[in-house]
C-alpha cells in the first residue's frame, strides 16, 4: 500500500498520471489529505471509480491514538500513537498564547544514548517515514479540531539521524496545498551530528536549529552525551557558526540543568565563553527526572541564578516553561511504560 502522506504534491500528481487519470486530480487529492478526512470516500469531488482505485492501493496514512492524556495544569496533551506495524511513538501538543505547538517524534526509539533521556533507553527500532511524521500532526489536529501552527522536532528520536525523511517531511509540511506550516514556525533539535549540521546548513532552510548542548567541557558532555566522543564541543560550535553564516538564523542552545552536574556559576561563565559573539539564544531546561536515569532537577533558585549570570554576561537566555509535568510529558516516558506493560524490555 502506498502512504500518500509520504508524497509531495508533485509525487501524488505523477502517481495519478501513472494511473491514467487527468493531472489536475493530483492537486485535488493532495489537498484532501490535509482536510481531516477519514476515508477516500470523503473525497467528494473525485469520481467514484478513482476513489475505489485509491482505496485499493493507497492509504491516508492515519495513525491510531492508542492513549491520550490531558494535563489538568496547562492543557498539554500527550498522545501515544500506534504505527501500522504496531510500534508506538509519542507526540505532545502544547498550548501557547500564540497558538498550538506540536512536538513530533522522528524515530521509533533513539540510538544516541544520552544519559538523562528516556527515549534512548531501549535503543532505536527504526526511522519514521516523512508520512509518519506528518501523520502525527494530522492525528492530533483532527482530535483537537483546531489548526496547529508550530512544530518542534523534539520528540522521540534524533532527526538528523533520519536526515532524508526529515528533509522530505519539512518539504511536505510547508507545502501551501497541504498543511502550509512555514519553515519559520518549525524548530529542529539535534544532539549534535556535526556532518549533518553542515548538510542542513547547505539546504538554507528558514527553520530554527536547536542544539542540545547541556555541558560546557568535553569531559562533562561526553559523560552525559556519548555523541560528544565522536563530535566534540569545538567541532559542534564550528558547525553552528557555519550554520549561522549560511542561513542567517539564530541558533537556540538547549541547556538541561542537572542538579550538581552542570548548574553552577562557573559553568554559566564557561557557557558564556563558548557562545559570546554568536547569533544565539540559550534555553534553560530544568531536567525532567526520569526514574531510570537517576538525575535530579536543579532547584528553581539555581536555575534562576544560572539564567541571571548568562544575562549579566550578555547571553540571551530563557527558562523553559515546564509543561504537562503531571502526565509524563518528557519524551520517551510513555512509550517505555507501554513497552514495560507488554513485557518487551
- Among residues 90, 132, 158, 254, which one is catalytic? 90
Residue indicated by cell numbers 538541561: 256
Q: How far is the CB of 290 from ligand SAH (least distance, A)?
A: 5
Q: How far is the CB of 107 from ligand SAH (least distance, A)?
A: 9
Q: How far is the CB of 23 from ligand SAH (least distance, A)?
A: 39
Q: Which residues have C-beta within 8 Å of that of residue 49, sequence separation ≥ 6? A: none
Of 21 and 127, the one with the shorter C-beta distance to ligand SAH is: 127
**Which grid coordinates are listed for 60?**
491516508
Instruction: Round to whole Å and give the CA distance between 117 and 332.
Output: 8
Of 40 and 116, the one with the shorter C-beta distance to ligand SAH is: 116
Of 256 and 267, the one with the shorter C-beta distance to ligand SAH is: 256
Of 140 and 330, the one with the shorter C-beta distance to ligand SAH is: 330
By the 10 Å C-beta count (0-12 exposed, 13-18 middle, 19+ buried), 314 is classed as exposed
Q: How far is the CB of 256 from ligand SAH (least distance, A)?
A: 4
Active site residue 331: yes
What are the C-alpha distances in Å from 16 to residues 13, 24, 30, 174?
A: 5, 9, 10, 22
Say if residues 296 and 116 touch (Cβ distance below 8 Å): no
Instruction: Round to whole Å and give the CA distance between 212 and 193.
Output: 11
Q: How far is the CB of 117 from ligand SAH (least distance, A)?
A: 4
Give the footprint of ligand SAH on this chain (CB under 6 A): 114, 116-117, 154, 158, 189-191, 212, 254, 256, 285, 287-288, 290, 330-331
Active site residue 110: no
Of 189 and 309, the one with the shorter C-beta distance to ligand SAH is: 189
What stretches of the chain adopt beta strand conformation (E)?
2-3, 58-59, 64-70, 77-82, 88-96, 99-103, 107-109, 124-127, 150-153, 186-190, 208-212, 251-257, 280-286, 317-319
By the 10 Å C-beta count (0-12 exposed, 13-18 middle, 19+ buried), 35 is classed as exposed
Of 33 and 154, the one with the shorter C-beta distance to ligand SAH is: 154
Q: How far is the CB of 286 from ligand SAH (least distance, A)?
A: 7
Instruction: Round to whole Å and give the CA distance between 31 and 37.
Output: 11
Instruction: Round to whole Å and give the CA distance between 5 and 12.
Output: 9
DSSP symbols for 143-178 = HHTS---EEEE-SSS-GGGGHHHHHHHHHHHT-TTT
Of 131 and 157, the one with the shorter C-beta distance to ligand SAH is: 157
Instruction: Round to whole Å and give the CA distance between 328 and 318.
Output: 22
**Which grid coordinates are listed for 104?**
513530533
Q: How far is the CB of 110 from ligand SAH (least distance, A)?
A: 6
Q: Looking at the annotation, which residues are catalytic?
A: 90, 331
Amino acid at each position: 500500500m502506498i502512504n500518500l502522506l509520504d508524497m509531495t504534491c508533485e509525487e501524488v500528481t505523477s502517481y495519478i498520471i501513472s494511473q491514467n487519470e487527468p493531472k489536475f486530480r493530483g492537486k485535488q487529492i493532495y489537498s484532501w489529505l490535509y482536510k481531516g478526512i477519514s476515508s477516500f470516500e470523503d473525497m467528494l469531488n473525485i469520481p467514484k471509480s478513482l476513489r475505489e482505485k485509491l482505496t485499493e492501493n493507497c492509504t491516508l496514512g492515519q495513525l491510531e491514538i492508542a492513549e491520550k492524556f490531558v494535563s489538568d495544569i496547562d492543557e498539554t496533551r500527550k498522545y501515544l500513537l500506534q504505527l501500522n506495524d504496531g510500534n508506538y511513538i509519542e507526540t505532545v501538543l502544547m498550548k501557547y498564547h500564540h497558538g498550538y505547538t506540536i512536538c513530533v517524534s522522528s524515530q521509533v526509539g533513539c540510538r544516541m544514548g544520552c544519559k538523562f533521556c528516556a527515549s534512548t533507553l531501549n535503543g532505536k527500532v527504526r526511522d519514521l517515514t516523512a508520512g509518519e511524521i506528518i501523520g502525527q500532526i494530522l492525528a492530533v489536529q483532527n482530535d483537537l479540531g483546531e489548526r496547529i501552527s508550530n512544530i518542534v522536532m523534539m520528540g522521540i528520536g534524533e532527526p538528523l539521524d533520519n536526515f532524508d525523511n526529515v528533509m522530505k517531511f519539512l518539504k511536505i509540511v510547508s507545502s501551501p496545498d497541504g498543511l502550509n506550516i512555514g519553515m519559520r514556525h518549525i524548530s529542529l533539535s539535534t544532539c549534535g551530528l556535526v556532518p549533518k549540521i553542515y548538510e542542513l546548513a547547505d539546504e538554507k532552510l528558514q527553520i530554527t536549529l536547536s542544539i542540545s548542548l547541556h555541558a560546557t567541557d568535553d569531559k562533562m558532555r561526553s559523560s552525559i552525551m556519548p555523541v560528544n566522543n565522536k563530535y566534540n564541543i569545538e567541532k559542534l560550535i564550528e558547525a553552528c557558526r557555519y550554520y549561522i553564516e549560511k542561513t542567517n538564523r539564530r541558533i537556540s542552545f538547549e541547556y538541561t540543568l542537572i542538579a550538581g552536574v552542570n548548574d553552577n556559576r562557573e559553568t554559566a561563565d564557561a557557557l558564556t565563553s563558548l557562545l559570546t559573539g554568536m547569533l544565539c539564544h540559550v534555553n534553560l531546561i530544568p531536567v525532567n527526572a526520569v526514574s531510570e536515569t537517576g538525575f535530579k532537577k536543579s532547584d528553581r533558585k539555581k536555575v534562576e541564578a544560572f539564567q541571571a549570570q548568562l544575562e549579566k554576561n550578555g547571553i540571551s537566555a530563557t527558562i523553559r516553561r515546564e509543561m504537562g509535568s503531571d502526565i509524563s510529558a518528557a519524551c520517551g516516558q510513555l512509550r517505555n511504560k507501554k513497552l514495560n506493560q507488554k513485557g518487551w524490555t
